[in-house]
Structure 1
């Protein structure tokens, strides 16, 4: 997608993650969040996610930035939110996590290869275990599940339909149109992205 399209979306406070999570696009997404927050620390920021996952450290940089800025981050899963994409989708502001009807969500444990000396392999294995625990803790806190349940369910690849993702607690709403997303999903200029103004405008936030 041309950069001009992303730049145009950014004017409406929309950030698009449409590929695997890497250091380069993670840095760009974090920078965009900081920029939008500096421009208006109260208006919602929209993060649209269609991602197969990717780097845990790069994804955690995005997650930490989502917590760092004072704005509510509205997440919208569209297409696929797998692995780290699932964590970012689930980490949106409470009540403002959306998924489109045909989106699929994947929960699984982080993957990693091992190499080097025995000591290197042991350290790498411990790092993976630490990452697995932290990701499970975050997902548990956002879904209402226990950490043990997240470990059990994510031990093998587990795919969720939109309805199953809603029931599990990954998201709060299934949305067929932007009008059912708070603030019009950033695409409707008639609806404010500021929480108080959006409620006054009577935005429809009901499930479809």
Structure 2
């Protein structure tokens, strides 16, 4: 048995001068394999897909005339084993893609989608972090995607952000992050309905006020605040670099004042005066200042509708109005 198997590497390594030597070596190998298979268990072979013409053809050639596979041409322009076809094809049919089922939370058959995707499906863009580059990238991408999906349907932007600073005033992002989202909002064909939830500070307050007129609102207990841009930490920078950053902060402050004056319909001097120190606004004050148009309060419409006219109140109270006074 061992002598029989030694003929395989010899036939593979020593170049034969005629087909008779190759056939003799091939017959000896096949006879050895046959004798081994009769004396031992059959070696398991992987199943062949019957729908794949390439593998089926290859298996049939190996079963009927294995010398075709052993006597491969040394130099050939045809890829390996494709020359046994008249018209070689690599795929029997196009790939079949299984259509995914819609997610049902009551009878889940697949992992649930991520929360931003669910909100995006409802045309909701939620800004719930400071305006760092990763947040800006996501928000602008969502705005462009919603415009592409439907350029007429409104986009609902919920703002709960400290802008380009943390709550303690430390800078976390460049002022350009807020301006980038603002410019994207201005370029949209859609109306942008803004809702302030929690806090809208600095550039986030600008985004809140930049919504479509009549569709800027705040929750009853949310806050808005405008303040001057902060100079990032200078660290070990030279004095000249600190001066350059300070000039850039002044430029950003002037730009922020102009934009806030435009959307709140206040004068630039009024905005500049209010921004000298942090200027906090609740819903009522923000509405008076022009940052929003209305305060969202569930049920307020039905309560106001139930209120009678002033004349009815006077009549029930026994008060008569006299003309001329």
TM range (shorter): 0.7 to 0.9
Q: What is the aligned partner in structure 1 of residue 72 from structure 2?
A: none
Q: What is the aligned partner in structure 1 of residue 194 from structure 2?
A: 75
Greater Rg over alpha carbons, structure: 2
Give the whole-Å Cα distance in 1 for the aligned partners of 2:140 and 2:226: 23
* 1:1-208 equivalent positions in 2, closer than 5 A: 4-54=114-164, 55=173, 56-113=175-232, 115=234, 116-177=237-298
Give the whole-Å Cα distance in 2 for the aligned partners of 1:125 and 1:22: 20
Considering Cα pairs closer than 8 Å and 6+ residues apart, tell me whether 1 or 2 has the greater RCO: 1
Tell me the CA shift for residue 120 of structure 1: 1.3
Q: Check the 8 A contact 1:50/1:78 in 2, yes or no.
A: yes
Give the whole-Å Cα distance in 1 for the aligned partners of 2:287 and 2:192: 18
Q: Check the 8 A contact 1:114/1:124 in 2, yes or no.
A: no
Q: Check the 8 A contact 1:53/1:85 in 2, yes or no.
A: yes
Tell me the CA shift for residue 106 of structure 1: 0.8
Give the whole-Å Cα distance in 1 for the aligned partners of 2:113 and 2:225: 28
Return 5+ residue gaps in structure 2 as ranges: 1-111, 165-172, 302-325
Higher strand share: 1
Tell me the CA shift for residue 113 of structure 1: 3.0
Distance 1:114 1:17, change over 3 A: closer
Tell me the CA shift for residue 118 of structure 1: 2.7
TM-score by length of structure 1 reads 0.82
TM-score by length of structure 2 reads 0.53
Tell me the CA shift for residue 114 of structure 1: 5.5
Distance 1:171 1:127, change over 3 A: same
Give the whole-Å Cα distance in 2 for the aligned partners of 1:33 and 1:3: 19
Tell me the CA shift for residue 179 of structure 1: 10
Q: Check the 8 A contact 1:101/1:176 in 2, yes or no.
A: yes
Tell me the CA shift for residue 86 of structure 1: 0.5
Following TM superposition, the consecutive aligned residue runs of length 4 or more in structure 1 with deviations greater than 3 angstroms are 177-180
Return 5+ residue gaps in structure 1 as ranges: 181-208
Q: How many residues align?
A: 180
Give the whole-Å Cα distance in 2 for the aligned partners of 1:138 and 1:94: 14
Give the whole-Å Cα distance in 2 for the aligned partners of 1:63 and 1:178: 32
